[in-house]
Structure 1
């Protein structure tokens, strides 16, 4: 029990450390991507951390088997290199016993991976998809690219902004509306400055719009300041000119509409109901993380075996190559299931079967080597005894 607690504690601690480092590496690229989208005005700055946070469950579920596998290799490799494993083996603990001792932490991580795969990841993917749709709808109202002509929400005019300050104020604004064959009135607005104002922020109303408060909360406005409004009645062919200090121009956000969800955003129950090739590929992918953790628990034990004089990382690279083959087979088979080249029910089971066969072969190879070494040692001892008698 002491050995079991010691090994499981070390493996769990190492797994968490490795997983944290890998998550930070993977999430940094996503963070840079979302920062660039925020700079371009595609998403708001407040959505950056929300989108990054929603990526964490998927990245964690993907990296959890690898982190556990590396942790087992490092912990057992250290025991071999520091000759602690020789003491452990001397009290009758074999390789299969080591794997059984590691099994509790493997089961704990497999349950964690199941929660991530079957519940948390689909929810996070759905929320991320929903947030991106809301940000795209908000971008029409909140994003102005200086120096570019942009079409208005009614698609009957254009808007041009010369510059935009860091606090959101726009300078030298030019708006044309009423363009089209069915239009009866053409309007041109020129303003020295302006800014966006949401009707929901009624406490910070910059001026009286003359509308009911409840009506204002449902609308969004562009507030133009120090400008001139030129209006042309196309039917009467008559111009009118209005100078103003503040002018409220209503603008509408793009409707979010129905979100088209990919299979990775669907719940597991919905995947079983649909039962198409894409859905079966996603089901097998969600099953692969907890199943692979249990297989890697046994696979890592023979792969971590090394000589006492060698370093604790001497078997790390070849073992990771074995894992990469396993992971690449899973990823490529997912595409084959989606295209119908692999039967849906077969899925990844043949890959897990190959991994189990490799694990069994590794254990048998160790036992074979032990028997061979034992015979060699016996022959050497016999020769030494015969020489001593002579």
Structure 2
């Protein structure tokens, strides 16, 4: 029908604008956070772009469901505001007829939200954790620049070396200050290379140098000269066996139903269900009296959305804490929202019924006014 095509076209246009705004805000906030971490030495500067991408992918399901809700709410509210709804209703269209075009626009968003929630966002969380872990393990020579002092992440070594212009794979004039259980030590060497053994552990192999342990002049002071000396740098970055629940694949959450895993599973299931419910909720909530403005209805709409999100977060926390079982609590919140949607549709469809609460309230007010006049 004409109105369905026009509605879908406007929904897509509005959703694109809303998503662009929300995406830009998310990118900006994430960029500020990640750049702060890079400046603080928590992540590698070369990984900033990748880390931003992973963080945004993790937030994408929320962005999509908010975009879909705001798009439907905004388009239908504008139709009420411009009296377009009056024309459609006068043509014999019921409010229920708006469900089909709205859901034809929204179902791809629901499916995409589910795909992101169950597969893409966990993958992004795993990649995010692996990048951070790799940076921590790839200390210390790999993260410092020639000609500058640098403290190791374990805070027990200080490095200094100069670049070797004739051989980029080697460094020269190496200085390492160590602190082993309170005992100071200094290692100096003419040159060194970074090597990896069969297990993947990294060592700085120094050549033609000296090692000094202790304080000169004291009885425990030691000095030795070496041709080759291995300084341990880092173990091989292990596989993420002890991953956070948000980084685990959905199949693993189901296979290992611990309270934390079930809480994360509840959240992943809730996101597409929330997207579906909010699309329906936006239809009756979009009603606006053209002469009264739409600020009140929009305020109520966003209050309901915030309440919905908070209730899902509360149920997730209860499952994670082991206070409620997963099977008994994952569905009541969504069923309650569907009941609210049914009541709101009934409220809007029966607005002219003699039994409608607004009609009854108007009759009571008229009766009260008549009594006041009679007195």
2:223 is aligned with 1:257: no
Is the 2:201–2:233 contact (alpha carbons within 8 Å) kept by the matching residues of 1? no
Is the 1:264–1:282 contact (alpha carbons within 8 Å) kept by the matching residues of 2? yes
Q: CA offsets per residue over residues 9-33 of structure 1, 9 Å max, x none?
A: 2222322322232232233233222
Q: Paired residue for 1:323?
A: 305
CA shift in 2, pair 1:239/1:57, >3 Å: closer
Q: How far, CA to CA, are the matches of 2:66 and 2:222 in structure 1?
A: 74
Q: How far, CA to CA, are the matches of 1:179 and 1:348 in structure 2?
A: 52
Q: CA offsets per residue over residues 306-365 of structure 1, 9 Å max, x none?
A: 112344555222211111111110011100111122221023311111111111111222
Deviation at 1:256, TM superposition (A): 0.9
Q: CA offsets per residue over residues 258-303 of structure 1, 9 Å max, x none?
A: 3121122222222111122222222221111211222222211111
Deviation at 1:83, TM superposition (A): 1.2
CA shift in 2, pair 1:149/1:312, >3 Å: closer
Q: Paired residue for 1:175?
A: 176
Q: How far, CA to CA, are the matches of 1:138 and 1:132 in structure 2?
A: 10
2:285 is aligned with 1:303: yes
- From 259, 265, 268, give the equivalent of 1:277: 259
Deviation at 1:179, TM superposition (A): 6.0
Give the length in aligned residue pairs: 341
Q: Paired residue for 1:167?
A: none
CA shift in 2, pair 1:276/1:190, >3 Å: closer
Is the 1:103–1:297 contact (alpha carbons within 8 Å) kept by the matching residues of 2? yes
Q: How far, CA to CA, are the matches of 2:285 and 2:326 in structure 1?
A: 32
Q: How far, CA to CA, are the matches of 1:308 and 1:263 in structure 2?
A: 48
Q: Paired residue for 1:339?
A: 321
Unmatched 5+ residue regions in structure 1?
165-169, 201-213, 380-390
Q: Paired residue for 1:383?
A: none
Is the 2:150–2:160 contact (alpha carbons within 8 Å) kept by the matching residues of 1? yes
Alignment root-mean-square deviation, CA: 4.1
Q: Paired residue for 1:28?
A: 28
Q: How far, CA to CA, are the matches of 1:178 and 1:124 in structure 2?
A: 38
Q: Paired residue for 1:204?
A: none
Work out which structure has the larger RCO, using CA pairs closer than 8 Å and 6 or more positions apart in sequence.
1
Question: SS at the partner of 1:371?
Answer: coil
Residues 107-122 of structure 1 mapped to structure 2, 5 A cutoff: 107-122=107-122
Is the 2:140–2:153 contact (alpha carbons within 8 Å) kept by the matching residues of 1? no
What is the TM-score when the length of structure 1 is the normalising length? 0.74
2:11 is aligned with 1:17: no
Is the 2:201–2:236 contact (alpha carbons within 8 Å) kept by the matching residues of 1? no
2:266 is aligned with 1:267: no
CA shift in 2, pair 1:160/1:268, >3 Å: closer
Is the 1:70–1:316 contact (alpha carbons within 8 Å) kept by the matching residues of 2? no
Q: How far, CA to CA, are the matches of 2:205 and 2:158 in structure 1?
A: 11
Farther-moved stretch of structure 1 (81-90 vs 310-319): 310-319
Deviation at 1:369, TM superposition (A): 2.4
Deviation at 1:38, TM superposition (A): 1.7
Q: Paired residue for 2:188?
A: 189
Q: Paired residue for 1:290?
A: 272
Deviation at 1:47, TM superposition (A): 0.6
Q: Paired residue for 1:62?
A: 62
Q: Paired residue for 1:134?
A: 134
Is the 2:175–2:186 contact (alpha carbons within 8 Å) kept by the matching residues of 1? no
Q: Paired residue for 2:124?
A: 124
Question: SS at the partner of 1:252?
Answer: strand
What is the TM-score when the length of structure 2 is the normalising length? 0.76
Question: SS at the partner of 1:116?
Answer: helix
